[in-house]
Amino acid sequence: MTEPRITDSHCHLDFPQFEGELPDLLTRATEAGVHRMVTICTKLRQAPTVRALAEANAPVFWAAGTHPMSVADEPMTTVDELVTLAAHPKMVGIGETGLDYHYTAESMAVQQESLRLHIEAARQTRLPLIIHARDADDDMARILTQEHRAGAYTCVMHCFSSGAALAQAALDLGFYLSMSGIATFPKSQEVRDIFAAAPLDRILVETDSPYLAPKPHRGKTNEPAFVNHTARVGAEVFGMDYADFAAATEANFERLFWKTVA
């Protein structure tokens, strides 16, 4: 039986865990129904490498930004730099950017500056902003809302595992929540409840591979093929048949990441 088609909306194929693995990884993804994936550049100096992966592999698209945990150690991006990168036909999103106060709270000011630059690039390009948020819910909700009032943009809250208030703030702005392997963990009922309360037409699925492998692969290197395990849990959360849930997330992905079908 052929697996329903599904997209891994966020992975990191340039990370060293996948060196030499890409042909086999893509084969396994195809066998699992994963026909498309977005590999995310987290440091702009890596953009040529990530772009080359997308150019060489039909199922792979890419996005670029400076990860909040790297902002203090990397040159500050410019809006023009991001807009120029976005001219590439397979560059489909801005980020990941965001706020992470868990390990890098000392750089919160520069993280906020970087986030606002990425938001402006998302406005100018009409590409979705890809947000990483950790232990920064209040500032994240405040900045996203302020900036949206200043000029609309689209956004996905990648690997969403924050609180219900930030989820609602994002949904109120028309943004999307992306479900990762965290949603499959036994202790993640609060996360599953947040997704269950969200509109179906705002849900994406992802691996964030090589991290956060879902059950039954927890503790192993995550990869795009495993996104269907997360999606099966998503189908349970919404009380749906897996094929129907997969189709819904496909439609959501193509609405947000419009350049993948343009």
Per residue of the chain (262 residues), give pLDDT as tens: 689 999 999 999 999 999 999 999 999 999 999 999 999 999 999 999 999 999 999 999 999 999 999 999 999 999 999 999 999 999 999 999 999 999 999 999 999 999 999 999 999 999 999 999 999 999 999 999 999 999 999 999 999 999 999 999 999 999 999 999 999 999 999 999 999 999 999 999 999 999 999 999 999 999 999 999 999 999 999 999 999 999 999 999 999 999 999 7
Would you say 229 is a known binding-site residue?
no
Looking at residue 262, its pLDDT comes to 73
Q: Is the pTM of this model over 0.85?
A: yes
Q: What residues contact 241, with CB distance under 8 A and at least 6 apart? A: 235
As a whole number of angstroms, the distance between CA 130 and CA 138 comes to 18
Would you say 132 is a known binding-site residue?
yes
Q: What residues contact 172, with CB distance under 8 A and at least 6 apart? A: none
Per-position DSSP letters for 200-262, written without gaps between them:
GGGEEE---BTS-PPTTSTTSPP-GGGHHHHHHHHHHHTT--HHHHHHHHHHHHHHHSGGGT-
Looking at residue 1, its pLDDT comes to 67
Q: What residues contact 73, with CB distance under 8 A and at least 6 apart? A: none
Would you say 96 is a known binding-site residue?
yes
Looking at residue 193, its pLDDT comes to 98
Q: In this structure, what token pair is assigned to residue 230?
A: 């997360």
What the chain holds in terms of domains, given with CATH numbers, is 6-257 (3.20.20.140)
